[in-house]
Structure 1
Amino acid sequence: MFTRTFTAAPADIDELGHVNNAVWVRWIQDIAVAHWEAVAPAEHVAAHVWVVTRHEIDYRGNVGVGESVTGETWVPDPPKGARFDRHVRFVGTDARVKVAAVTTWALLDRASGRLLRVRPEIAAPFVGAR
């Protein structure tokens, strides 16, 4: 499992006084990219890029300005062709899950932009690491 802390800034807050849904999506992207860059070998990061093909998000609680959450992400299952599902959750300081998501990512060749099958050596540092 890979973790990262996020703190809600004033610009992240919507008219209801809590983190805007679009910010949660940005944080999902941010933690996924940070995980890739932290774990993948440099040659994989240089040669490949991931794109989201699907988000499934459950909003379970609110976070206000100045509040922090711990983002957690993991990839429980092997890829299917060019895609795999990444799980993400954000846990508040009260130990309650505020947002939980499953996102589907596809692997592209950075130079050509073409879809690539996720080879075992690319997936190995991520799959099952929870």
Structure 2
Amino acid sequence: MFTRSFTARPEHIDVMGHVNNTVWLQWVQDMAGAHWEAAARPEHAAAYVWLVTRHEIDYRGNVAEGESVTAETWIEGEPRGATSVRRVDFRDARGKVIVSAATTWAMLDRASGRPARVRAEVLEPFRR
């Protein structure tokens, strides 16, 4: 599992006084990218790139300016062809999951730009 903290800054806040949904989505993508950079084997990072094909986000709470969340991410289940599902949970200061995302990512061959079948050894460093 990979973790990272995010703190709500003034530009993250919407008219309701809490983090805007588009910011949560950006944080989901930031988590995926940071996890890939931190854990991917060098030969895989050089050979492949990932693109989102689907986001599904459940909002059960929110945070206001100055408050922080801890995000944790992992790969869930087995890959399906060129895709895999990444989970990201955001916990508030009390440890409660307030935002939970399941995103489907497609792995592409960096040189050709074509989808590449996700092999177990590519995902192994990212399992929970």
Alignment TM-score, normalising by the size of structure 1: 0.94
**How many equivalent pairs are there?**
128
Unaligned regions of 5+ residues in structure 1, if any?
A: none
1:78-109 Cα distance to aligned partner (Å, 9 max, x none): 21110011111100002111100111010011
Contact 2:76 2:84 (C-alpha < 8 Å) held by counterparts: no
SS in 2 for 1:69: strand
Q: Residue in 2 aligned with 1:64?
A: 64
Q: Following TM superposition, by how much is the alpha carbon of 1:112 offset from its aligned partner in structure 2, in angstroms?
A: 1.9
RMSD (Å) for aligned C-alpha atoms: 1.0
- Contact 1:78–1:123 at 8 Å: present in 2 too? no
Indicate yes or no: 2:115 matched with 1:123: no
Cα contact 2:76–2:86 (8 A) shared by 1 = yes
After superposition, where does 1:17-96 map in structure 2 within 5 Å? 17-96=17-96
Percent of residue pairs identical: 62
Q: Which has the higher strand share?
A: 2
One-letter identity of the residue aligned with 1:13: I
Name the amino acid aligned to 1:114: R
Deviations 1:52-91 (A, max 9, x none): 1001100110111111100011113121110011111100
Residue 45 of structure 1: CA displacement? 1.1
SS at match of 1:18: coil
Q: Which runs of 5+ in 2 are unaligned?
A: none
Alignment TM-score, normalising by the size of structure 2: 0.95
Aligned-partner Cα distance in 2 for 1:30–1:61: 20
Where 2:34 maps in the other structure, the secondary structure is helix
- Shift of residue 28, structure 1, vs aligned partner: 0.2
